[in-house]
């Protein structure tokens, strides 16, 4: 027994010595001139990362990440349920959830059918009818999810680039990754993509068995849902069914068409590998704009952030059209304008402008 206690004491002392030694090495590294020099060198890149992190928060708070709801149990909160059996029957092994709008309580057959044909049953039981308003809502959901996915992936890429640039000792990244980012000045974002999740649940009367089918509306599922809705609308010869579908395929095509370059400030992915590009409506949907290629453009996140829902004063610029970058003397905002226009308005502050060419870097 004494030998066992001695071994435990030695092991505990060795572990404590290791932790103390590692802590001392960490503090020395973060106070070293080498680390401080790296921190100063990448300060501007870290500041831009933190701006993108704030932009991610704006997308999350302003986006629409729900569509449809189940009507089962909408009024279940008006009643109370009590087991009055004289015998101690176990009826709480599996309990149905009647108050969640994303849960449809149903028969076992519906659960099995939903697992075999998920989109059909999501549309049927979560009130997503094949009409123009629902198609627009699903496209908006896909657009917001894609923007948030791209922004979060952009942040992760920037953080990996920062770690690679500073190149700290391996034990720092293994044990103190968050503290390393904090010392560098990086504001880590806790935000994740809130994919809508729909559940079909069956719970037996006695609560002894249950089964569930789950449908997660991620980007591929949303694209399939958009296509399904559009086919049903097109079959009805609706005008909305004839237009282009706002899917991830179309968004990627627009970025490729625009050479992965912002149509306002002309910054490109080739010049800035960590550039966050988004696809934007020239004329916003709220003002009657359609999701057609001639009404879609590639913008960097800064220009898209400042544009908001303003209708640009100039018409959309063709990819092959001659244009130059102009700068507003009032707010210093840069935008690309066709050379055929001699006067226009600043897309950011609305100031009336005449051409003043800014040489591109």
* Element at 70 (helix H, strand E): none
- Taking phi over 0 as left and psi of -120 to 50 as alpha, with beta for the rest, 348 belongs to alpha
pLDDT at residue 102 is higher than 60: yes
Task: State the pTM of this model.
Answer: 0.75
Of 326 and 155, the structure prediction assigns the larger pLDDT to 155
Of 92 and 70, the structure prediction assigns the larger pLDDT to 70
Give pLDDT, residue 252. Answer: 93
Report how far residue 28's alpha carbon sits from residue 48's, in angstroms, rounded to the nearest whole number.
Answer: 28
* Residues 6+ away with beta carbon under 8 Å from 122: 68, 114, 128, 198, 215, 225
* Residues 6+ away with beta carbon under 8 Å from 7: none
- Reported as a pLDDT band with limits 50, 70 and 90, residue 20 is confident
Asked whether the CA dihedral 36, 40, 41, 43 is positive or negative, the reply is positive
pLDDT at residue 137 is higher than 60: yes
Mean pLDDT computed over 81-90: 63
Report how far residue 251's alpha carbon sits from residue 137's, in angstroms, rounded to the nearest whole number.
Answer: 17
Of 62, 52, 137, 53, the residue nearest 309 (C-alpha): 62
Mean pLDDT computed over 239-259: 81
- Reported as a pLDDT band with limits 50, 70 and 90, residue 319 is very low
């Amino acid at each position: 027994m004494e030998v066992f206690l001695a071994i435990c004491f030695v092991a505990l002392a060795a572990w404590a010595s290791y932790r103390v030694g590692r802590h001392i090495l960490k503090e020395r590294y973060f106070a070293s001139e080498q680390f401080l020099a790296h921190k100063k060198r990448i300060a501007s890149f870290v500041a831009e990362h933190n701006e993108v992190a704030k932009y991610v928060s704006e997308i999350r708070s302003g986006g629409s990440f729900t569509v449809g709801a189940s009507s089962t149990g909408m009024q279940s909160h008006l009643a109370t349920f009590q087991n009055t059996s004289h015998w101690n029957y176990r009826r709480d092994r599996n309990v149905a959830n009647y108050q969640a709008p994303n849960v449809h309580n149903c028969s076992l057959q519906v659960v099995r059918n939903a697992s075999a044909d998920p989109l059909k049953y999501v549309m049927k039981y979560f009130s997503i009818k094949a009409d123009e308003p629902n198609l627009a809502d699903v496209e908006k959901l896909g657009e917001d999810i894609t923007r948030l996915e791209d922004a979060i992936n952009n942040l992760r890429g920037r953080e990996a680039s920062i770690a690679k640039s500073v190149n700290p000792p391996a034990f720092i990244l293994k044990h103190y990754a968050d503290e390393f980012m904090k010392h560098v000045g990086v504001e880590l974002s806790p935000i994740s993509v809130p994919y809508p999740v729909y559940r079909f649940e069956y719970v037996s009367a006695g609560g002894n068995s249950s089964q569930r089918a789950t449908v997660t509306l991620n980007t591929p599922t949303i694209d399939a849902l958009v296509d399904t809705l559009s086919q049903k609308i097109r079959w009805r010869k609706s005008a909305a069914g004839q237009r282009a579908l706002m899917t991830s395929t179309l968004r990627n095509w627009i970025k490729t068409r625009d050479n992965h370059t912002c149509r306002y400030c002309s910054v490109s992915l080739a010049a800035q590998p960590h550039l966050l590009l988004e696809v934007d409506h020239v004329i916003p949907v709220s003002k009657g704009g359609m999701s057609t290629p001639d009404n879609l453009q590639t913008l960097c996140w800064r220009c898209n952030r400042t544009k908001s829902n303003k209708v640009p004063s100039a018409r959309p610029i063709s990819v092959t059209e001659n244009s130059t970058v102009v700068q507003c003397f009032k707010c210093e905002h840069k935008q690309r304008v066709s050379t055929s226009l001699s006067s226009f308005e600043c897309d950011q502050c609305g100031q009336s402008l005449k051409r003043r060419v800014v040489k591109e870097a």
